[in-house]
Amino acid sequence: MVLASFVGSFPCVAFSGSRLGGSPASASCRAFLPVLGGFRGSVGVGCASGVDSLVRSAFPSASVFSVSSFLVGGRVSRASFARRSSALVSWCASSGGLLVAFPLGACPSAVRPSSSFGGFGSGSWGSVALGVGLGCSVLVVLPSSVVGFPAPSALASRFRCVGVAPCGGALWLSSPAPVQLSLF
């Protein structure tokens, strides 16, 4: 399958997505993961429920970026989650990897590509914007219920629809290298 070959061409893959287990984002992830059954590279993922939990189940040897490793003032805070996400995306970008994101809904209007994390309430979209800002290849998997690329133009202009996702939704790619459209 072309999607499996594309993902397999990266030395590592990091995952980001909704923490809600029954969400369309989790359903998209559940449909996507079997495609990667033969992936041999490194996998990075967060410690949350939802998408993170599905990825950890599919890849038991994944490197897990735990929010408890990023305490602020000795406790877990919103900044801890942002630091955890930043570490995950930075690991992926520095390794020449692919960030695969399963956002729950539309991107907050203030999110822009940047070399520092700014999710404005959305960890998934903040990770996507950071990945683009750091020059990482980013694949956004949207459920079939989402039409278009639901992000501000500063971010959306960096993405191209490259095919249909295993969940029936769309695959949107941002890559620093030229990529043939309609890969999948």
Q: How do residues 21-40 score in pLDDT, each as one tens digit? A: 888 999 999 999 999 988 99
Handedness of CA 174, 175, 176, 177 (dihedral sign): negative
Considering the chain, what is the average pLDDT of its residues?
92
Q: How far apart are CA 176 and CA 168, in angstroms?
A: 26
Task: Tell me the pLDDT tens digit for each residue of 138-159.
Answer: 999 999 888 899 999 999 999 9
Checking if the pLDDT of 1 tops 80, the result is no
Q: How far apart are CA 82 and CA 26, in angstroms?
A: 20
Looking only at the bridges linking them, the beta strands covering 42-46 and 63-65 are parallel
If you average pLDDT over residues 90-119, what whole number do you get? 95
Checking if the pLDDT of 167 tops 70, the result is yes
Q: pLDDT value at position 22?
A: 82
Q: Which two tokens stand for residue 49?
A: 């429920």
Tell me how many degrees the CA angle 128-134-139 measures, rounded to the nearest 5. Answer: 35
**CATH ID of 2-174, from 3.30.70, 3.40.1350, 3.40.50, 1.10.3470:** 3.40.50
CA 5 remoteness from chain centre? 18
Q: How far apart are CA 179 and CA 10, in angstroms?
A: 14
Task: Tell me the pLDDT tens digit for each residue of 44-88.
Answer: 999 999 999 999 999 999 999 999 999 988 999 889 999 999 999
Q: How far apart are CA 16 and CA 127, in angstroms?
A: 7
Q: Backbone phi, then psi, for 75, in 5-degree steps?
A: -145, 165
Checking if the pLDDT of 181 tops 80, the result is no
Checking if the pLDDT of 108 tops 50, the result is yes
Q: pLDDT value at position 37?
A: 84
Show Cβ contacts of residue 112 under 8 Å, excluding neighbours closer than 6 positions: 118, 129, 152, 154, 155
Q: Which two tokens stand for residue 72?
A: 């602020």
Q: Under the phi-then-psi rule, with left for phi > 0, alpha for psi from -120 to 50, and beta for the rest, what region is 50?
A: left
Helices 78-94 & 123-133 angle (0-180, nearest 10): 40
Where do the domains of the chain lie?
2-174
Local confidence band at 20 (pLDDT 50, 70, 90 cut-offs) = confident
Half-sphere exposure of 147 toward its Cβ, with a 13 Å CA cutoff? 0
Q: How far apart are CA 85 and CA 169, in angstroms?
A: 25
Task: Tell me the pLDDT tens digit for each residue of 109-137.
Answer: 999 999 999 988 898 999 999 999 999 99
